[in-house]
Structure 1
Amino acid sequence: MDVKVIDLPAVSVAYLRYKGPPGAAIGDFWLEVFSPWQQAAGLQGRTTYGVGVDDPATTAPEEYRYDTCVEIEPGYRPQAPARLAELPGGRFAVASFSGTGEQIPAAWGEFFGQWLPASGLQMDARPCFERYPADYAMDPATGVFACELCISVK
Protein backbone atom coordinates (compact mmCIF):
# COMPACT_ATOMS: atom_id res chain seq x y z
CA MET A 1 0.00 0.00 0.00
CA ASP A 2 1.46 3.35 -1.10
CA VAL A 3 0.97 5.77 1.83
CA LYS A 4 2.36 9.23 2.50
CA VAL A 5 1.96 11.29 5.67
CA ILE A 6 1.11 14.90 4.86
CA ASP A 7 -0.56 17.97 6.30
CA LEU A 8 -3.95 18.78 4.78
CA PRO A 9 -5.70 22.14 5.15
CA ALA A 10 -9.11 22.47 6.78
CA VAL A 11 -11.91 22.47 4.19
CA SER A 12 -15.41 23.96 4.27
CA VAL A 13 -17.97 21.62 2.72
CA ALA A 14 -21.64 21.26 1.98
CA TYR A 15 -22.90 17.72 2.47
CA LEU A 16 -25.77 15.31 2.15
CA ARG A 17 -26.07 12.46 4.64
CA TYR A 18 -26.71 8.85 3.73
CA LYS A 19 -28.09 6.60 6.46
CA GLY A 20 -28.33 2.86 6.00
CA PRO A 21 -26.22 -0.20 5.33
CA PRO A 22 -22.66 0.42 4.13
CA GLY A 23 -21.73 -1.06 0.77
CA ALA A 24 -23.24 -0.72 -2.68
CA ALA A 25 -26.07 1.52 -1.47
CA ILE A 26 -23.53 4.28 -0.74
CA GLY A 27 -22.41 4.21 -4.39
CA ASP A 28 -26.06 4.44 -5.43
CA PHE A 29 -26.50 7.45 -3.12
CA TRP A 30 -23.51 9.20 -4.77
CA LEU A 31 -24.95 8.57 -8.25
CA GLU A 32 -28.67 9.02 -7.65
CA VAL A 33 -28.81 11.67 -4.91
CA PHE A 34 -25.52 13.51 -4.36
CA SER A 35 -24.34 13.99 -7.97
CA PRO A 36 -27.68 15.40 -9.19
CA TRP A 37 -27.83 17.72 -6.16
CA GLN A 38 -24.21 18.82 -6.73
CA GLN A 39 -24.98 19.67 -10.36
CA ALA A 40 -28.24 21.48 -9.53
CA ALA A 41 -26.39 23.51 -6.87
CA GLY A 42 -23.69 24.50 -9.40
CA LEU A 43 -20.98 22.77 -7.37
CA GLN A 44 -19.57 20.37 -9.99
CA GLY A 45 -15.85 20.34 -10.86
CA ARG A 46 -14.78 20.54 -7.20
CA THR A 47 -13.03 18.19 -4.81
CA THR A 48 -15.50 15.89 -3.06
CA TYR A 49 -15.23 13.78 0.08
CA GLY A 50 -16.89 10.72 1.53
CA VAL A 51 -16.88 10.68 5.33
CA GLY A 52 -17.86 7.55 7.23
CA VAL A 53 -19.39 9.07 10.35
CA ASP A 54 -19.70 5.70 12.08
CA ASP A 55 -17.52 2.58 12.27
CA PRO A 56 -19.32 -0.08 10.22
CA ALA A 57 -17.79 -2.78 12.46
CA THR A 58 -19.56 -1.45 15.55
CA THR A 59 -22.66 0.29 14.16
CA ALA A 60 -25.91 -1.46 13.26
CA PRO A 61 -26.31 -1.36 9.46
CA GLU A 62 -29.55 0.62 9.60
CA GLU A 63 -27.86 3.26 11.81
CA TYR A 64 -24.67 3.70 9.76
CA ARG A 65 -24.09 7.29 8.56
CA TYR A 66 -21.93 8.47 5.65
CA ASP A 67 -21.61 12.08 4.47
CA THR A 68 -21.08 12.95 0.80
CA CYS A 69 -19.36 16.34 0.73
CA VAL A 70 -18.21 18.99 -1.74
CA GLU A 71 -15.83 21.90 -1.16
CA ILE A 72 -17.49 25.32 -1.00
CA GLU A 73 -16.45 28.96 -0.79
CA PRO A 74 -16.95 31.09 2.33
CA GLY A 75 -20.47 32.45 2.52
CA TYR A 76 -22.09 29.58 0.59
CA ARG A 77 -25.66 29.02 1.80
CA PRO A 78 -27.07 25.55 1.09
CA GLN A 79 -30.70 24.69 0.68
CA ALA A 80 -32.15 21.78 2.70
CA PRO A 81 -31.44 18.94 2.92
CA ALA A 82 -27.78 19.98 2.45
CA ARG A 83 -25.83 21.09 5.52
CA LEU A 84 -22.50 22.82 6.15
CA ALA A 85 -19.46 21.41 7.94
CA GLU A 86 -15.72 21.83 8.15
CA LEU A 87 -13.33 18.95 7.69
CA PRO A 88 -10.47 19.72 10.07
CA GLY A 89 -6.98 19.97 8.70
CA GLY A 90 -3.80 18.53 10.12
CA ARG A 91 -1.61 15.48 9.71
CA PHE A 92 -3.06 12.62 7.67
CA ALA A 93 -1.84 9.31 6.32
CA VAL A 94 -2.99 9.29 2.70
CA ALA A 95 -3.21 6.14 0.57
CA SER A 96 -3.95 6.08 -3.15
CA PHE A 97 -6.87 3.85 -4.13
CA SER A 98 -7.90 2.66 -7.56
CA GLY A 99 -10.67 0.10 -7.88
CA THR A 100 -14.39 -0.38 -7.59
CA GLY A 101 -16.82 0.46 -4.83
CA GLU A 102 -16.87 -3.21 -3.86
CA GLN A 103 -13.08 -3.11 -3.32
CA ILE A 104 -12.90 0.01 -1.15
CA PRO A 105 -13.89 -1.69 2.17
CA ALA A 106 -10.96 -4.13 1.79
CA ALA A 107 -8.59 -1.21 1.08
CA TRP A 108 -9.78 0.57 4.24
CA GLY A 109 -9.36 -2.72 6.12
CA GLU A 110 -5.75 -3.08 4.95
CA PHE A 111 -5.03 0.57 5.74
CA PHE A 112 -6.43 0.36 9.29
CA GLY A 113 -5.52 -3.26 10.02
CA GLN A 114 -2.03 -3.54 8.54
CA TRP A 115 -0.48 -0.22 7.56
CA LEU A 116 -1.55 1.86 10.59
CA PRO A 117 -0.33 -0.58 13.29
CA ALA A 118 2.99 -1.08 11.45
CA SER A 119 3.50 2.68 10.99
CA GLY A 120 3.93 3.53 14.67
CA LEU A 121 1.32 6.28 14.26
CA GLN A 122 -2.06 6.43 15.96
CA MET A 123 -5.39 7.59 14.65
CA ASP A 124 -6.76 10.67 16.39
CA ALA A 125 -10.30 11.95 16.88
CA ARG A 126 -10.60 13.85 13.57
CA PRO A 127 -12.68 12.16 10.88
CA CYS A 128 -11.18 9.89 8.26
CA PHE A 129 -12.41 10.28 4.70
CA GLU A 130 -12.16 9.48 1.02
CA ARG A 131 -10.99 12.42 -1.10
CA TYR A 132 -12.04 12.52 -4.76
CA PRO A 133 -10.31 14.92 -7.19
CA ALA A 134 -12.24 17.69 -8.93
CA ASP A 135 -11.86 15.78 -12.22
CA TYR A 136 -13.13 12.54 -10.65
CA ALA A 137 -14.47 10.03 -13.14
CA MET A 138 -15.63 6.44 -12.95
CA ASP A 139 -15.05 4.11 -15.89
CA PRO A 140 -18.62 3.21 -16.89
CA ALA A 141 -17.55 -0.15 -18.33
CA THR A 142 -15.61 -1.40 -15.29
CA GLY A 143 -16.79 0.78 -12.38
CA VAL A 144 -13.15 1.61 -11.57
CA PHE A 145 -12.37 5.00 -10.01
CA ALA A 146 -9.50 6.60 -8.11
CA CYS A 147 -9.47 8.47 -4.81
CA GLU A 148 -7.36 8.95 -1.71
CA LEU A 149 -8.08 7.29 1.60
CA CYS A 150 -7.19 9.67 4.44
CA ILE A 151 -6.66 8.67 8.08
CA SER A 152 -6.11 11.40 10.66
CA VAL A 153 -2.96 10.58 12.62
CA LYS A 154 -0.85 11.79 15.51
Structure 2
Amino acid sequence: MKSEKIAQTYLAFIRVTGPYGENYEPAVDQVYRWAGENGLQGGQCLFIYHDDPDKTETAKCRTDICLTVPAGTLPSGEVGIQILPEGKYCTQREIVRHKTDYAEHWKALKTRVKQAGLELEQRPCFELYHSYDIETHVADVGFYLAIKG
Protein backbone atom coordinates (compact mmCIF):
# COMPACT_ATOMS: atom_id res chain seq x y z
CA MET A 1 0.00 0.00 0.00
CA LYS A 2 1.17 3.51 -0.75
CA SER A 3 -0.36 6.97 -0.66
CA GLU A 4 -0.68 9.07 -3.78
CA LYS A 5 -2.04 12.51 -4.58
CA ILE A 6 -4.28 12.47 -7.64
CA ALA A 7 -4.68 15.64 -9.69
CA GLN A 8 -8.10 16.83 -10.79
CA THR A 9 -9.10 14.56 -13.69
CA TYR A 10 -11.81 14.93 -16.33
CA LEU A 11 -13.81 11.80 -17.05
CA ALA A 12 -16.31 10.69 -19.67
CA PHE A 13 -18.71 8.24 -18.01
CA ILE A 14 -21.83 6.14 -18.05
CA ARG A 15 -23.50 5.26 -14.75
CA VAL A 16 -24.55 1.69 -13.99
CA THR A 17 -26.93 1.07 -11.08
CA GLY A 18 -27.18 -2.33 -9.44
CA PRO A 19 -24.95 -4.91 -7.77
CA TYR A 20 -21.26 -4.10 -8.06
CA GLY A 21 -19.53 -6.05 -10.82
CA GLU A 22 -22.68 -6.77 -12.80
CA ASN A 23 -23.83 -5.42 -16.18
CA TYR A 24 -20.69 -3.35 -16.78
CA GLU A 25 -19.86 -4.69 -20.25
CA PRO A 26 -22.52 -2.72 -22.19
CA ALA A 27 -21.43 0.55 -20.52
CA VAL A 28 -17.73 -0.20 -21.12
CA ASP A 29 -18.45 -0.92 -24.80
CA GLN A 30 -20.51 2.25 -25.13
CA VAL A 31 -17.90 4.52 -23.50
CA TYR A 32 -15.09 3.09 -25.66
CA ARG A 33 -17.21 3.39 -28.83
CA TRP A 34 -18.03 7.01 -27.92
CA ALA A 35 -14.32 7.73 -27.32
CA GLY A 36 -13.42 6.27 -30.72
CA GLU A 37 -16.13 8.27 -32.49
CA ASN A 38 -14.86 11.45 -30.82
CA GLY A 39 -11.14 10.91 -31.35
CA LEU A 40 -10.54 10.35 -27.63
CA GLN A 41 -8.95 6.90 -27.68
CA GLY A 42 -6.16 6.18 -25.25
CA GLY A 43 -7.76 7.45 -22.04
CA GLN A 44 -7.32 5.51 -18.84
CA CYS A 45 -10.26 3.39 -17.67
CA LEU A 46 -11.64 3.92 -14.15
CA PHE A 47 -14.60 2.42 -12.32
CA ILE A 48 -15.85 4.80 -9.62
CA TYR A 49 -17.91 3.35 -6.77
CA HIS A 50 -20.28 5.76 -5.03
CA ASP A 51 -21.94 3.58 -2.39
CA ASP A 52 -20.90 1.33 0.48
CA PRO A 53 -22.48 -2.04 -0.33
CA ASP A 54 -22.69 -2.77 3.42
CA LYS A 55 -24.94 0.28 3.86
CA THR A 56 -26.71 0.58 0.50
CA GLU A 57 -29.19 -1.84 -1.02
CA THR A 58 -27.30 -3.66 -3.80
CA ALA A 59 -29.93 -2.73 -6.40
CA LYS A 60 -29.14 0.96 -5.69
CA CYS A 61 -25.32 0.81 -5.78
CA ARG A 62 -23.91 3.24 -8.36
CA THR A 63 -20.82 2.64 -10.50
CA ASP A 64 -19.48 5.11 -13.06
CA ILE A 65 -17.66 3.46 -15.96
CA CYS A 66 -15.14 6.15 -16.99
CA LEU A 67 -12.38 7.11 -19.39
CA THR A 68 -10.05 10.03 -18.79
CA VAL A 69 -10.55 12.86 -21.28
CA PRO A 70 -9.06 16.33 -21.82
CA ALA A 71 -10.55 19.34 -20.00
CA GLY A 72 -13.23 20.95 -22.11
CA THR A 73 -14.57 17.67 -23.53
CA LEU A 74 -18.34 17.94 -24.00
CA PRO A 75 -20.88 15.26 -23.12
CA SER A 76 -23.01 13.70 -25.83
CA GLY A 77 -25.68 11.03 -26.00
CA GLU A 78 -25.64 8.89 -22.86
CA VAL A 79 -22.02 9.78 -22.05
CA GLY A 80 -21.63 12.45 -19.40
CA ILE A 81 -18.58 14.37 -18.21
CA GLN A 82 -17.52 14.66 -14.57
CA ILE A 83 -14.48 15.75 -12.63
CA LEU A 84 -12.63 13.48 -10.25
CA PRO A 85 -11.49 16.01 -7.64
CA GLU A 86 -7.87 16.35 -6.61
CA GLY A 87 -7.10 14.47 -3.44
CA LYS A 88 -5.01 12.00 -1.53
CA TYR A 89 -5.58 8.26 -1.87
CA CYS A 90 -4.19 5.06 -0.44
CA THR A 91 -3.64 2.64 -3.24
CA GLN A 92 -2.47 -0.86 -3.99
CA ARG A 93 -1.97 -2.48 -7.39
CA GLU A 94 -3.01 -6.09 -7.96
CA ILE A 95 -3.31 -8.64 -10.72
CA VAL A 96 -6.93 -9.81 -10.55
CA ARG A 97 -7.52 -13.24 -12.05
CA HIS A 98 -11.14 -13.86 -10.99
CA LYS A 99 -14.14 -11.54 -10.73
CA THR A 100 -14.69 -12.71 -7.14
CA ASP A 101 -11.24 -11.40 -6.10
CA TYR A 102 -12.18 -7.70 -6.36
CA ALA A 103 -14.08 -7.65 -3.04
CA GLU A 104 -11.15 -9.28 -1.24
CA HIS A 105 -8.68 -6.71 -2.59
CA TRP A 106 -10.96 -3.87 -1.45
CA LYS A 107 -11.32 -5.46 2.00
CA ALA A 108 -7.53 -5.88 2.31
CA LEU A 109 -6.90 -2.24 1.35
CA LYS A 110 -9.50 -0.96 3.84
CA THR A 111 -7.89 -3.08 6.56
CA ARG A 112 -4.41 -1.71 5.77
CA VAL A 113 -5.69 1.88 5.80
CA LYS A 114 -7.35 1.33 9.18
CA GLN A 115 -4.24 -0.35 10.61
CA ALA A 116 -2.13 2.61 9.43
CA GLY A 117 -4.41 4.95 11.42
CA LEU A 118 -5.51 6.87 8.33
CA GLU A 119 -8.93 8.47 8.08
CA LEU A 120 -11.14 7.90 5.05
CA GLU A 121 -12.54 10.93 3.27
CA GLN A 122 -16.01 11.24 1.74
CA ARG A 123 -14.86 10.99 -1.86
CA PRO A 124 -15.67 7.96 -3.99
CA CYS A 125 -13.23 5.09 -4.25
CA PHE A 126 -12.20 3.80 -7.66
CA GLU A 127 -10.34 1.19 -9.64
CA LEU A 128 -7.80 2.27 -12.26
CA TYR A 129 -7.31 -0.33 -14.99
CA HIS A 130 -3.75 -0.55 -16.26
CA SER A 131 -4.70 -3.48 -18.50
CA TYR A 132 -7.52 -5.97 -19.01
CA ASP A 133 -7.46 -9.15 -21.10
CA ILE A 134 -10.85 -9.63 -22.76
CA GLU A 135 -10.19 -13.36 -23.32
CA THR A 136 -8.99 -14.36 -19.83
CA HIS A 137 -10.57 -11.50 -17.82
CA VAL A 138 -7.24 -11.01 -16.03
CA ALA A 139 -6.76 -7.37 -15.04
CA ASP A 140 -3.93 -5.22 -13.73
CA VAL A 141 -5.82 -2.93 -11.36
CA GLY A 142 -5.02 -0.09 -8.98
CA PHE A 143 -7.44 0.14 -6.04
CA TYR A 144 -7.84 3.70 -4.66
CA LEU A 145 -9.40 4.72 -1.33
CA ALA A 146 -9.80 8.44 -0.56
CA ILE A 147 -8.07 9.54 2.64
CA LYS A 148 -7.78 12.82 4.52
CA GLY A 149 -4.56 14.75 4.40
TM-score, normalising length: structure 1 = 0.85
Give 1:118 deviation, angstroms. 0.5
Summarize the alignment of residues 106-121 of structure 1 with structure 2, pairs less than 5 Å apart. 106-112=104-110, 114-121=111-118
State the AA in 1 paired with 2:89.
Answer: F
Q: Secondary structure at the match of 1:25?
A: coil
* Separation in structure 2 between the aligned mates of residue 105 and residue 128 of structure 1, nearest angstrom: 13
* Separation in structure 1 between the aligned mates of residue 27 and residue 116 of structure 2, nearest angstrom: 32
**Number of equivalences:** 147
Name the structure 1 match of 2:132.
137
Q: Given that residues 18 and 29 in structure 1 are in contact (C-alpha distance below 8 angstroms), is that contact kept between their aligned partners in structure 2?
A: no
State the AA in 1 paired with 2:137.
Answer: G
Root mean square deviation, CA, Å: 1.8
Which one of the candidate residues 23, 32, 39 is aligned to 2:36? Answer: 39
Q: Given that residues 13 and 81 in structure 2 are in contact (C-alpha distance below 8 angstroms), is that contact kept between their aligned partners in structure 1?
A: yes
Give 1:80 deviation, angstroms. 2.1
Give 1:101 deviation, angstroms. 2.7
* Separation in structure 1 between the aligned mates of residue 11 and residue 53 of structure 2, nearest angstrom: 23
Query: Is residue 89 of structure 2 the alignment partner of residue 92 of structure 1?
Result: yes
Name the structure 1 match of 2:11.
13
TM-score, normalising length: structure 2 = 0.87
Name the structure 2 match of 1:56.
53
* Separation in structure 2 between the aligned mates of residue 23 and residue 47 of structure 1, nearest angstrom: 19
Name the structure 2 match of 1:124.
121
Give 1:139 deviation, angstroms. 5.5
Give 1:78 deviation, angstroms. 1.8
Q: Given that residues 14 and 83 in structure 1 are in contact (C-alpha distance below 8 angstroms), is that contact kept between their aligned partners in structure 2?
A: yes
Q: Given that residues 93 and 140 in structure 2 are in contact (C-alpha distance below 8 angstroms), is that contact kept between their aligned partners in structure 1?
A: yes
Moved more, 103-112 or 35-44: 35-44
Unaligned ranges ≥5, structure 2:
none
Q: Given that residues 24 and 101 in structure 1 are in contact (C-alpha distance below 8 angstroms), is that contact kept between their aligned partners in structure 2?
A: no
Unaligned ranges ≥5, structure 1:
none
State the AA in 1 paired with 2:133.
Answer: M
Identical aligned residues as a percent: 24
